[in-house]
Amino acid sequence: MDRSGALSRLRIVLSHPSHPGNVGAVARAMKNMGLADLALVAPRHFPDPDAVAMAAGGSDLLGKARVSSTLEAALADCVLAVGFTARKREISHPAQSLREIAPEIVAAAARSRVALVFGNETSGLSNEELARCQRLVSIPANPAYASLNLAAAVQIACYELALAADAFSAPRGGAGSAATIEDLEGLFAHLEESAIASGFLDPKKPGRFMERMRRLFARTGVEREEVKLLRGLLAAFDKPKRRK
Amino acid sequence: MDRSGALSRLRIVLSHPSHPGNVGAVARAMKNMGLADLALVAPRHFPDPDAVAMAAGGSDLLGKARVSSTLEAALADCVLAVGFTARKREISHPAQSLREIAPEIVAAAARSRVALVFGNETSGLSNEELARCQRLVSIPANPAYASLNLAAAVQIACYELALAADAFSAPRGGAGSAATIEDLEGLFAHLEESAIASGFLDPKKPGRFMERMRRLFARTGVEREEVKLLRGLLAAFDKPKRRK
């Protein structure tokens, strides 16, 4: 299964979007998550400078967006249409949660084109539009205020699907190599000697000092470079103090 | 562990936000996902009508937001500060992915206050600000354009944490009760009879018609009401046609 190519076969369909700023923010959200295929059904204003401004580095998606007057045209070459809805409905297929359905969407998109369909900012998808979709999805949200901004909903959808497709690894910071047990034992021995030499620790009554230090360092996950740094510090403490 | 109350102990900290529209969009994203505690460090414009407009139903969070001049003040009563960064850095703790760290954040927030820290729209968190955080997190994104809008990043963070806290179930549509095997066998028997009665199916050479029908219905997951509907339709087909 070509999971990595799945994102290129995911189409975001915005039906009757009112605000060009939202269309631009959707383009940015898509590009951030590696999607590129945007379709607009009867947008109120398009093209529009507000869309370009909000798209920022994703404005190339606006230039390539397909515009149609009907939802059918936007879905024609797709094998699966997934409608996003926040509302409970009486007559319709049951809505699944986004995370639940993400693997199925990615599996379908590994071979064929799949549409993710979002409705108008105020009214959402109509019952007629929902009936064109084979799956209904909802994004779990606060029942006291479940109305997500259009671009925010698209952002969450693209993020879930990029993760389900395992498209990008998270960038990692400068993780140094972890200290070995030998490094740590050297540090603990050095610490104990220094603590005794300083007069802080009485070797006849050591109490639980070293046990507590071991616990502290066990929790943190120490790097090799950090062990070197701490032993350098201990060596400096070990030296007789110079008079000021 | 009080996972359900964890969201109320999550604080979103925006350091040096430039655009009041983003601050408003963050408030909406938070409220959609059940968070309420917003802290602003040295915002360029606040309060501001653009923030209120973009907050929509989340504008009450703006009224309650705490504003401070330093990051330290915004973090003072938190036990854990999690910094969000898109950039790789040489000297810093390694960044974890959001999904990876979400359970740890929720576990900490089940008992104590936890801060999620986001930097300025253009420059992100400075190295000095990142050093105030005990964890660094990044959101996996397209390496060709990894710069998420501020409110989009907060939206994804709040969504992941609401799911990790199991805060909201997805609303379900009208899922009817599934048909039993007996219902289905009744349907298949009826379908076969009707197909024979209509002349479509030759009982002496049935071929694989019923096998294919069984496969089709096995894939779909049929509801009890749908079986009734289909048998009603078959019964109508069974009747002798009236002349027009």
Domain limits of chain A?
A: 6-164, 181-238
Stated pTM of the model: 0.83
Interface probe, candidates A19, A99, A121, A142, chain B, greatest B C-beta count within 10 A: A142
Partner A contacted by B96 (CB < 8 A): yes
Q: Across the interface, which of A33, A95, A142 has its CB nearest the CB of B168?
A: A142
State the pLDDT at residue B223: 87
State the pLDDT at residue A165: 96
List chain B residues with pLDDT less than 50: 89-91
List chain A residues with pLDDT less than 70: 1-4, 87-93, 170-175, 242-244
Interface probe, candidates B35, B85, B155, B160, chain A, greatest A C-beta count within 10 A: B155
Q: Do residues A149 and A22 touch, judged by C-beta distance below 8 A?
A: yes
Which residue in this structure is represented by tokens 């009936």?
A: A131
User: What residue in B sits closest to A159 (Cα-Cα)?
Assistant: B156
Give exposure, B173-188, as e/b (b: 16+ Cβ within 10 Å).
beeeeebeeebbeebe
Q: Please give the CATH architecture assigned to the domain spanning A6-164.
A: 3-Layer(aba) Sandwich (3.40)
Residue A61 main-chain phi, psi, to 5 deg: -65, -30
Q: Which chain B residues are within 8 Å of A141, Cβ to Cβ?
A: 32-34, 162, 168
Residue A225 main-chain phi, psi, to 5 deg: -65, -35
Q: Do residues A178 and A223 touch, judged by C-beta distance below 8 A?
A: yes
- CATH class of the domain whose range is A181-238: mainly alpha
Quote the longest CA-to-CA distance of chain A: 87
Separation in Å, CA of A29 to nearest CA in chain B: 7
Partner A contacted by B92 (CB < 8 A): yes
Helical H segments across A76-223, by residue range: 98-109, 127-131, 150-164, 181-197, 209-220
Number of H helices, E strands in chain A: 10, 7
State the pLDDT at residue A174: 55
Beta strands in chain B (DSSP E): 10-15, 37-41, 66-68, 80-84, 95-97, 114-118, 135-138
Read out DSSP for B67-107?
A: EESSHHHHHTT-SEEEEE--S--SSSPPEEEHHHHHHHHHH
Cβ burial of A23 (10 Å; 0-12, 13-18, 19+) is buried
Q: Do A145 and B57 count as a contact with CB atoms less than 8 A apart?
A: yes
Tell me whether 0.90 is exceeded by the ipTM: no
C-alpha of B97 from chain center: 17
